[in-house]
Structure 1
Amino acid sequence: MTAAPVRLGIIGLGAMGTRVLGIASQHPDFDVRLVSDPNRSASDFPGLRFSADGADVTGAEDIDAVYIATPPALHERYSLAALASGKAVFCEKPLAVDLAEGRRMAEAASRAGLATAVNFALSDQAPVAEIERADVGEVLGVDIMLHFPQWPRPFQADARWLDEREQGGFVREVLSHFVYLTDRILGPLRVEVAGVDYAPGASEVAAHGLLRAGEVPVHVSGRTGMAGAERYEWILWGSRRSFLLRDWSELFVSEGGAWQPVPVSGGSQAERLSLFAKAVRGEDAGAGLADFAAALRVQDVVEAFHGVG
């Protein structure tokens, strides 16, 4: 017997919210019932129920789960309201920008016993599973390197908060994905040194850090505004073999020589939504979803770059 679709409400219809709306609207596991954004109008979403007030989504009686794609300062408000009304929550990262808010969110999720997930793009990627299965020998270190000629990136140009210190910056928006990956592969991280350089009146232009997973060093380097190509690289150095993850999904391996491509594929927003639907129904979603507890560990590390801890 086919399970009934999860009745979904969406709060926040910027770049990510609109993308997920398009995917969820065509997804067999979901029935999008209500969407909300104070800066949009019903005419933008013909055929859908629309409200300018996100509280209408969290309070709706005909919704099972809420996807939250607002700026991070609003994540706590809508997550707590949704959980209090018995709804599962799928939230964009970071979990929050205020650590006290993130802790309240994780605690509320634990009390409610409902499905929660944070949308880390690497959580269900096939290269990650390949690395987890591999025998790398002794793990000697991890390097994370991020370069952005333009920040915010062109597709995020309308999200002005991304270039503001209060909520934005590439450390929260992008580095968080790779902190999650490192935490997942090696276990919880502690921060030895972390900091950022800011542009006047804007978000960070550089980040540098030394983290540790146990005794394994994790080096972080990031920069914006330079002449050069956009770069996303995560390298795990092992004594037997090392892995390079480049541009989110391209995996390479070295056993002592040049990097060799590893032909793997799999993982997408649609697949993460499938896993979330399983979790909402009480089924085992496996390791492909990051819950609020995992996202809080990531937030603790990320906010240390901004001098918060």
Structure 2
Amino acid sequence: MVDKPVKLGIIGLGAMGGRVLDVAAEHADLEVVRACDLDQATLDRVAAAHPEIAVSRDPADVLGASDVEAVYLATPPAFHAELTVAALGAGKAVFCEKPLSVSAEDGRTMRDAAAASGLATAVNFALSDRDVVLEVERALAAGEAGEVLGVDVRLQFPQWPREFQADAAWLDGRQQGGFVREVFSHFAYLTDRLLGPLRAVDVSADFPAEGSEVAARGLLRAGDVPVHFTGVAGVAGPEVYEWVLWGTRRSYRLRDWARLEVFEDGSWNPVPSRRRGSDASRLGLFAEAVRGTGSPNLAGFDIALRVQEAVEAFHA
């Protein structure tokens, strides 16, 4: 017997929400029944492309709908807590964009509401089910890295927000935006997941008169392992996404989200990858969670709150 698709409502149809809608609309495990955004032109485009989906400018039309079993939240993070609490209160599972929130109180409220609800909740960290991440996780469990001595994370952006996010003006605001929240949070999650609870030790960021950070750096710790982060935006140079785990036997370098290399015998060597892990696969895992099957490869609200706390230390 084939499980019926989970009926999904999506709130927020910007770069990420719009992409998730297109993926979910073709997903065998999901049926997108409702979508919400404040921009009428966006709703008109969605209605033309997906006439089977009911669209609205009012989130209550998604949260209160009897035909919605689960909600995907792709709004700016300041709205996550209010919408999450309302969705859970209405008996709907929640798949939320990262960061969990920008307010410590809101983040804790979301975590506690998720725990009390007993419903499926998750945060869409892009690295949670990538095959390259699962390979590093396997290697660490097998002791192949030896003792882990440290982690380095380096991010570099010639343009922020990036071109595909240009319409999301909030991403260039100090209140909710910036590459530390939007991008470093993925690698903070990865480090916490593999090495233990992440916490900020000595971190800082440089802000212009207006807008989000142009540079950030700092020392964090995952358990007892030191984690060094540097990031810069607005540079004359390529985009760089690099995470390196330094071990005494082998070291591992993840570049551009999906290119894994291992250092042994004096050089970096590529690890074969089938490029597994995507919004489609994480939506499938979430559908399974809604049906009652948990997945270790989805990020829960607990780890997302630790990531939020580490990230927000740069803004303190």
Structure 1 residue 284, shift from structure 2 partner: 2.9
Structure 1 residue 214, shift from structure 2 partner: 2.7
**Alignment of 1:195 onto 2:204:** yes
User: Aligned partners of 2:183, 2:121: CA distance in 1, in Å?
Assistant: 20
CA offset digits 1:123-169 (Å, max 9, x no partner): 00000110011110000100000000100000000000000000000
**Residues 105 and 292 in structure 1, CA contact (< 8 A), matched pair in contact too:** yes
Out of 276, 285, 309, which is 1:275 matched to?
285
- Counterparts in 2 of 1:236-247, with a 5 A limit? 236-247=245-256
CA offset digits 1:14-60 (Å, max 9, x no partner): 01111000000000001111000011354222302111011211111
2:44 maps to what in 1? 43
Q: Secondary structure at the match of 1:204?
A: coil
**Residues 9 and 67 in structure 1, CA contact (< 8 A), matched pair in contact too:** yes
Structure 1 residue 256, shift from structure 2 partner: 4.3
Structure 1 residue 257, shift from structure 2 partner: 1.5
2:62 maps to what in 1? 57
User: Aligned partners of 1:72, 1:214: CA distance in 2, in Å?
Assistant: 27
Which stretch of the first structure deviates more once superposed, 211-220 or 200-209? Answer: 211-220
**Alignment of 1:234 onto 2:243:** yes
2:30 maps to what in 1? 30
CA RMSD of superposed structures (Å) = 0.9
User: Aligned partners of 1:256, 1:293: CA distance in 2, in Å?
Assistant: 39
- Structure 1: tracts of 5 or more residues without a match: none
CA offset digits 1:89-143 (Å, max 9, x no partner): 0000000001100100000000001100101000000001100111100001000
**Residues 253 and 262 in structure 2, CA contact (< 8 A), matched pair in contact too:** yes
User: Aligned partners of 2:200, 2:72: CA distance in 1, in Å?
Assistant: 31
**Residues 55 and 78 in structure 1, CA contact (< 8 A), matched pair in contact too:** no
User: Aligned partners of 1:281, 1:40: CA distance in 2, in Å?
Assistant: 33
Which stretch of the first structure deviates more once superposed, 160-169 or 263-272? Answer: 263-272
Aligned-pair identity in percent equals 60
Q: Secondary structure at the match of 2:315?
A: coil
1:93 maps to what in 2? 98
User: Aligned partners of 1:268, 1:282: CA distance in 2, in Å?
Assistant: 21
CA offset digits 1:214-262 (Å, max 9, x no partner): 3211000000011110000000000010000000000000014121100
Structure 1 residue 213, shift from structure 2 partner: 1.9
Q: Secondary structure at the match of 2:19?
A: helix
Which stretch of the first structure deviates more once superposed, 101-110 or 40-49? Answer: 40-49
User: Aligned partners of 2:44, 2:163: CA distance in 1, in Å?
Assistant: 25
Q: Secondary structure at the match of 1:299?
A: helix
Letter of the 1:5 counterpart: P
- Structure 2: tracts of 5 or more residues without a match: none
CA offset digits 1:50-97 (Å, max 9, x no partner): 110112111111110000000111111111100000000000000000
**Residues 118 and 292 in structure 1, CA contact (< 8 A), matched pair in contact too:** yes
Structure 1 residue 189, shift from structure 2 partner: 1.5
Q: Secondary structure at the match of 2:112?
A: helix
2:71 maps to what in 1? 66
Out of 130, 137, 144, which is 2:153 matched to?
144
Q: Secondary structure at the match of 2:58?
A: coil
User: Aligned partners of 1:40, 1:268: CA distance in 2, in Å?
Assistant: 29
**Alignment of 1:117 onto 2:147:** no
1:4 maps to what in 2? 4
**Residues 170 and 177 in structure 2, CA contact (< 8 A), matched pair in contact too:** yes
Normalising by structure 2, what TM-score? 0.95
**Residues 149 and 229 in structure 1, CA contact (< 8 A), matched pair in contact too:** yes
Q: Secondary structure at the match of 2:98?
A: coil
1:260 maps to what in 2? 269
2:259 maps to what in 1? 250
**Residues 36 and 57 in structure 2, CA contact (< 8 A), matched pair in contact too:** yes
Structure 1 residue 190, shift from structure 2 partner: 2.1
Q: Secondary structure at the match of 2:191?
A: helix
CA offset digits 1:149-197 (Å, max 9, x no partner): 1000000000000000000000000000000000000010122101100
User: Aligned partners of 1:52, 1:173: CA distance in 2, in Å?
Assistant: 25
